[in-house]
Structure 1
Amino acid sequence: MPEEARLTRRQAELLDQLEQVFLAEGFAGFTLEDLAVRLHCSKSTLYALAGSKEQLAARVIRHFFRKATAAVEARAATEEDPALRVTAYLTAVARALAPAGPAFYRDLDAFAPGRAVYERNTALAAERVRELIADGVAQGRFREVHPALVADTVSTLMFRIGRGDTARATGLDDAAAYRELAALLLHGISL
């Protein structure tokens, strides 16, 4: 049973509130006491979500990426045309990641369990892009490309975006970088 299925309504609300705080301000600098005061709850309420601050951070990170993945897949599923599906997928990734600020990514990079969640989700997203490209090639909508190579290139840039390397090198925020990636990818594989 997924961990969200066992939550009370109040716990689900707290998880969403924690997600908003973490995305905007990061999570490393908060204590459980800080979070309890901020969310108008007791520390024991937070301990019901996770046994420690680190476990709570990991749970919120998993919650964020689980919701983001569902939103991205739902958006991509609305498109029949392979090119529009790839664009929709990457644009939805940009939209899903847009609320995450620099402090969140800095803390995520420094927190091994969170970084592992990010890397796993990025790898899954790259695999999904590979599938979408392979589908477009099979349907004759994209020129013959090596889908795994394109997906590997995409995942490399996705990891750079997530680490902040792309923002430092280009000045683009993550959402803008994903939009540019979508445009670059489509122009590179279109017939």
Structure 2
Amino acid sequence: MPSQPLRSRRQPTARQQVLLGELEELFLAEGFREFTLDDLAARLHCSKSTLYTLASSKEQLAVKVVAHFFKGAAERIEERIDGVADAREVIALYLAGIADELKRASETFMADVAAFEPARVTYELNSQAAAGRIRSFIAKGVADGVFRDVHATLIAEMAGLLVEGIQTGVVRARTGVSDADAFTALAELLLGGLRVG
């Protein structure tokens, strides 16, 4: 244990929160790799020093904005399923939420995330968390008797592999299907395959 308490990270100011939101919308629409800090400052009508209050480099800024997007998406998706008891409905709402969030992201943004390792790691961590949530929903559905128990653990693992394939771009490359559409198809596959009777 450290002898002194760890310093908590400073919360972003209201202005910084607004900038993060504006950067998120810009990056989702146009990606981030081609922008310079000068470009971003001009587009957001702020100074580079204002951007430096968010991060010390363009790369760190990209990671911060990508993390902001995925964190906000996760929170909105969890709000969708809050209080829903039926595992079938939870899976449908959860995966529809992921699809809706990813529909906000342009192909350029997704390509930039895939090409920039720190951003890709952020997406990967979020995908792993999503796969874990799906596994828990399947287990709950089996326990509640709304899903068949035939190979439920295997199906949960396969869902995790599909989520990984979507995140890594393998599904997109092999099928030409967007990540959002792939999550919609995953919901249909799971709900159809696990249905009782």
TM-score tier, shorter chain, comes to: over 0.9
Residues 32-47 of structure 1 correspond to what in structure 2 (within 5 A)?
32-47=37-52
Q: Structure 2, unaligned stretches of length 5 or more?
A: 1-6
Corresponding position: 1:8 with 2:23: no
Moved over 6 A (4+): none
Residues 77-96 of structure 1 correspond to what in structure 2 (within 5 A)?
77-96=82-101
Distance 1:171 1:44, change over 3 A: same
Deviation of the 1:9 alpha carbon: 1.3
Indicate the structure with greater helix content: 1
C-alpha offsets along residues 114-159 of structure 1, whole Å, 9 cap, x if unaligned?
1111111100100000011101111111100444432332222223
C-alpha offsets along residues 63-89 of structure 1, whole Å, 9 cap, x if unaligned?
001001001111122422111111111
Counterpart in 2 of 1:140?
145
Residues 13-162 of structure 1 correspond to what in structure 2 (within 5 A)?
13-162=18-167
Q: Is this contact kept in 2: 1:137–1:145, CA < 8 A?
A: no
Equivalent-residue separation in structure 2 for 1:109 and 1:41 (angstroms): 28
Deviation of the 1:32 alpha carbon: 0.5
Flag the structure with larger Rg: 2
Equivalent-residue separation in structure 1 for 2:105 and 2:152 (angstroms): 29
TM-score (norm: length of structure 1) = 0.92
Q: Structure 1, unaligned stretches of length 5 or more?
A: none
Length, aligned pairs only = 190
Q: 1:181 aligns with which of 178, 183, 186?
A: 186
Q: Alignment identity in percent?
A: 47
Equivalent-residue separation in structure 2 for 1:101 and 1:2 (angstroms): 34
TM-score (norm: length of structure 2) = 0.90
Equivalent-residue separation in structure 1 for 2:70 and 2:16 (angstroms): 18
Distance 1:34 1:20, change over 3 A: same
Q: Is this contact kept in 2: 1:137–1:144, CA < 8 A?
A: yes
CA RMSD in angstroms comes to: 1.7
